[in-house]
Chains A and B, each alone.
Chain A
Amino acid sequence: MLKMLGEYLILLVEIFKRPDKGPVFRSRLLTEFVGLGTDSIGIVVIISIFTGAIVAIQTAYNIDSPLIPLTMVGFTTRQMMILEFSPTIISLILAGKVGSRIASEIGTMRVTEQIDALRVMGVNPANYLILPKITASMLFNPVLIIFSMVIGIWGGWMACIVTGVVTSTDFIMGLRGWFEPFTVTYAIIKTVVFAFIISSVSGYLGYSIKGGSVEVGAASTKAVVYSSILIIFFDLILTQLLLI
């Protein structure tokens, strides 16, 4: 475990060396935006709509005291989406989708000697392969998360209208109440940290494979498990640090 941490840190140093060729880095970054970012929009939309809807319905269902106004439903949906569901749940989903993809892509390159080939052609493979992925994730995941917040709240609103448990006016009134802009900042900070965890941990696991193609499968599973655990762990730490 300690050895892994050491290897991971050494790799990070390699990754963050300045790219040898600027234009090469930029074109790789563009490819990664597509591969890691825009390709995930579909799943983010679906998951967000449903979580928003579920949160709204569950809140409405749980309010049975006449003392609590139904406007609470809009308020709760917004808070839940911004504080926790969008940044954390979506990052966990991305850990599954993007993390396994990064680990298997880089792992395959390792076992088929493509990483060796890069090195003999004068390239620093860690920097060339992993830096664009980390950068793309850290820049694009916040966009996905903000998108998810908006869609999730919309999903909650739709659920209220369709089921009729809360009126549209009540929902929107709640939505507008007691808004603290810092919650969004907090969510974005979390997202950026999670994006770094997903891309660097998965990159490391793929890069450090020794052996054959069986290892590639194992590494991509590990990428999902390790990044998910680290996300939850850092969620707790960041919440402590930022909100209290």
Chain B
Amino acid sequence: MIEVKNISKTFGDNQVLKNVSTIFEKGQTNLIIGQSGSGKTVLMKSCIGLIDPDEGEIIFDQRPFSRLAEKQKKDIRKDMGVLFQGGALFDSFNVEQNVMFPLNMFTTMSLEEKLDRVNFVLKRVNLENVNKLYPSEISGGMMKRVAIARAISNNPQYLFCDEPNSGLDPKTAEVIDALISEITEEYNMTTVINTHDMNSVLQIGQRINFLYKGQLWWQGDMHTILEEENPELQEFVFSTELTRRIKK
């Protein structure tokens, strides 16, 4: 469980997060949704310690992450897997080296054990025989899967995904979403997902946090979201032609 307590963040004179508090539950897919620019990435980066919030704290299962020194943060980082918006695979490493990276950094496993683990997670994301390919040689959907494999290679307790299916076709997007939600259940992880894709929201939105202009505007799940009368939320949910037609 991750507790977000009263997080605020301002860049220059642009207040991006306004006193956001929420809880991300273990074993569930916790979504952060909202329009582009609403502060989803900033909130996620505050959780993983890439951005220092001006106020508030982040607590990982009683461990006060945001108050720790860089060295002690490493202990909690060992339990985190992060999938960045663009994948952020290392260009100069091949697939195998990318997935092995967290193992090199956090464990003292032998090369053989590491290779076993790499092949296991690659298989888990349905990728085989791509070990020696470089990121520039694989498709966008494969990159996302390699990035997921890298994020889960060290068996994290916390998984963060920043728009895991942006830039993918609807079918592949669905496969990626399903994969993340399966893994979450299988390993009982606390998973946090940023998205602005309504398909994902309805498919995997076990707990939903709706950000509106930097404020936590609404909380609920994939069932309640369609019934909610909140105008800002409705505007977001029914923002596409498809959803508007379904509503009628």
Using an 8 Å CB-CB cutoff, how does the interface string of A104-123 with B read, 1 for contact, 0 for none? 00001100111011011111
Within 8 A of B (CB), among A109-152: 109, 112-114, 116-117, 119-123
Cα of A117 to Cα of B77 in the assembled complex, Å: 11
Give every chain B residue within 8 A of A112 (Cβ-Cβ): 86, 88
Give every chain B residue within 8 A of A108 (Cβ-Cβ): 91
Chain A contact residues, majority secondary structure: helix
Is B80 in the interface zone, CB < 8 Å from A?
yes
Within 8 A of A (CB), among B70-110: 74, 77-78, 80, 82, 84-86, 88-92, 101-102, 104-106
Give every chain B residue within 8 A of A113 (Cβ-Cβ): 84-86, 88
In contact, A121 and B102 (Cβ under 8 angstroms):
yes
Is B50 in the interface zone, CB < 8 Å from A?
yes
Cα of A20 to Cα of B105 in the assembled complex, Å: 9
Is A21 in the interface zone, CB < 8 Å from B?
yes
In contact, B105 and A122 (Cβ under 8 angstroms):
yes
Is B33 in the interface zone, CB < 8 Å from A?
no
Is B48 in the interface zone, CB < 8 Å from A?
yes
Residue of B nearest to A108 (CB): B91
Interface range on chain B (Cβ under 8 Å from partner): 20 to 34
In contact, B102 and A116 (Cβ under 8 angstroms):
no
Using an 8 Å CB-CB cutoff, how does the interface string of A82-120 with B read, 1 for contact, 0 for none? 000000000000000000000000001100111011011
Residue of B nearest to A114 (CB): B88
Chain B contact residues, majority secondary structure: loop
Is A24 in the interface zone, CB < 8 Å from B?
yes
Shortest distance between the CB of B55 and any CB in chain A (Å): 22
In contact, A121 and B105 (Cβ under 8 angstroms):
yes
In contact, B102 and A114 (Cβ under 8 angstroms):
no
Give every chain A residue within 8 A of B90 (Cβ-Cβ): 109, 114, 117
Shortest distance between the CB of A3 and any CB in chain B (Å): 15
In contact, B50 and A122 (Cβ under 8 angstroms):
no
Give every chain A residue within 8 A of B77 (Cβ-Cβ): 120-122
Cα of A120 to Cα of B88 in the assembled complex, Å: 12
- Given contact pairs A112-B86, A117-B90, A122-B78, enumerate 7 new A-B contacts (beta carbons under 8 Å): A109-B90, A112-B88, A113-B84, A113-B85, A119-B50, A121-B105, A122-B102
Which A residues have a C-beta under 8 Å from some C-beta of B?
A: 20-21, 24, 31, 108-109, 112-114, 116-117, 119-123
Which B residues have a C-beta under 8 Å from some C-beta of A?
A: 45, 48-50, 74, 77-78, 80, 82, 84-86, 88-92, 101-102, 104-106
Q: What would be 5 A-B contacts, judged by CB atoms less than 8 Å apart?
A: A21-B104, A114-B90, A117-B88, A121-B105, A122-B77
